[in-house]
């Protein structure tokens, strides 16, 4: 279980490891969500007529309306009752369940595509000396995606059009300079071990201030704000639609929406994603990635994700979050939040 700096009876907020936590039952009740089972099991499911949310105690994995989304903090158990971090209510659940509470996305006209790696930077490599390099397939995907986006009416720029090395800061700087409305960095994963077991797609967006990144080399929660944090809700909404589209279209393993402060994300002044389109190292998924027809399908899924982001589904009621501050200091005992659960 998580270490507890302060405990609270059900119905009260608690301060755990320097973060405010709120009982799932209180938050769910304030948002017309009902439990599908017990409140006190290791797995908690809450639903209403439009939403289904699944959480696991002591895990940051969640499933939101059928899409895996990594929370900023694990779900905590306080006296047997599951609690969610206030930061997740504010920066994960509210933006995804109530996108209408944020300003509408500005009209998308120009999209910057960033084919990962290039030149001396090969990216992931499979197949020995004469094998295949990630940089080749990110460029091929970007070129296919460019063509499909242009046919859909978008202006498209690429950070590289050939097998050339481009410094990471220069990639997002180009997007900022031309005033792109979206930035998509395209990559493929790889693993040196468990090659037969590890596959699937994942989508990264910027980590909120106060949270640790969920990538393998994730930075801690003390990292300060970046330019990308100004668009963090929009980036999360775009990441969700992108992951949903990729998983459904490709029938790929859902490795989830994740958070990171990658160099190509943190300096973006527009909604920005890094897409890991699958594992080159997997014997089945790798062969698919090498196939132009599969990359064409992947590009179509990315276009679909962008279009879905532009037209978010209407939500009958705004999802509320607690009034307690996510940045509140650690308390020695349980305390109630400064206001009642009026979750805006």
pLDDT by residue, tens only, the chain of 344 residues: 333 233 333 347 888 888 899 999 999 999 999 999 888 889 999 999 999 999 999 999 999 999 999 999 999 999 899 999 999 999 999 999 988 777 777 899 999 999 999 999 999 999 887 799 999 999 999 999 999 999 999 999 999 999 999 999 999 999 999 999 999 999 999 999 999 999 999 999 999 999 989 875 656 666 789 999 999 999 999 999 999 999 999 999 999 999 999 999 999 999 999 999 999 999 999 999 999 999 999 999 999 999 999 986 433 345 666 534 333 333 333 333 333 232 33
Q: Is residue 331 part of a domain?
A: no
Nearest CA to 114 among 191, 154, 179, 173? 173
Q: Is residue 9 part of a domain?
A: no
167 and 291 belong to one structural domain:
yes
80 and 146 belong to one structural domain:
no
pLDDT value at position 33? 95
CATH number of 90's domain: 3.30.457.10
pLDDT value at position 332? 31
pLDDT value at position 326? 33
Q: How far apart are CA 297 and CA 85, in angstroms?
A: 37
71 and 203 belong to one structural domain:
no
Q: How far apart are CA 97 and CA 341, in angstroms?
A: 17
208 and 125 belong to one structural domain:
yes
Q: Which domain holds residue 84?
A: 14-98
Q: How far apart are CA 126 and CA 5, in angstroms?
A: 47
Q: Is residue 291 part of a domain?
A: yes
Contact 52, 45 (CB under 8 A): yes
CATH number of 186's domain: 3.40.630.40
- Within a 13 Å sphere around the CA of 249, how many CA atoms are in the beta-carbon half? 20
Q: How many CB atoms lie within 10 A of CB 156?
A: 18
Contact 23, 82 (CB under 8 A): yes
75 and 119 belong to one structural domain:
no
pLDDT value at position 325? 34
């Amino acid at each position: 279980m998580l270490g507890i700096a302060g405990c609270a009876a059900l119905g009260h907020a608690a301060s755990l490891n320097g973060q405010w936590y709120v009982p799932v039952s209180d938050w769910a009740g304030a948002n017309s969500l009902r439990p599908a089972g017990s409140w006190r099991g290791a797995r908690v499911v809450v639903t209403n007529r439009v939403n289904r949310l699944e959480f696991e105690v002591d895990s940051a994995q969640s499933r939101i309306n059928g899409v895996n989304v990594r929370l900023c903090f694990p779900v905590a158990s306080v006296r047997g009752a599951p609690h969610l971090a206030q930061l997740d209510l504010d920066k994960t659940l509210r933006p995804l369940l109530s996108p209408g509470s944020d300003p509408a996305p500005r009209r998308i006209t120009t999209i910057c595509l960033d084919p990962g790696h290039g030149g001396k930077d090969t990216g992931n490599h499979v197949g020995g000396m004469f094998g295949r390099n990630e940089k080749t397939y990110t460029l091929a995907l970007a070129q296919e995606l460019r063509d499909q986006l242009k046919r859909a009416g978008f202006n498209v720029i690429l950070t590289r059009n050939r097998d050339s090395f481009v410094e990471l800061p220069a990639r997002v700087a180009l997007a900022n300079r031309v005033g792109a409305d979206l930035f998509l960095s395209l990559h493929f994963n790889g693993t040196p071990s468990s090659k037969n077991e590890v596959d699937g797609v994942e989508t990264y967006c910027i980590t909120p201030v106060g949270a640790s990144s969920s990538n393998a080399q994730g930075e801690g929660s003390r990292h300060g704000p970046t330019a990308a944090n100004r668009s963090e809700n929009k980036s999360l909404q775009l990441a969700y639609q992108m992951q949903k589209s990729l998983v459904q279209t490709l029938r790929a393993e859902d490795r989830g929406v994740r958070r990171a402060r990658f160099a190509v994300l943190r300096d973006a002044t527009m909604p920005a994603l890094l897409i890991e389109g699958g594992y080159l190292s997997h014997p089945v998924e790798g062969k698919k990635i090498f196939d132009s027809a599969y990359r064409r399908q992947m590009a179509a899924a990315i276009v679909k994700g962008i279009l879905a982001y532009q037209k978010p589904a209407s939500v009958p009621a705004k999802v509320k979050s607690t009034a307690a501050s996510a940045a509140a200091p650690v308390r020695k005992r349980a305390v109630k939040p400064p206001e009642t659960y009026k979750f805006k």
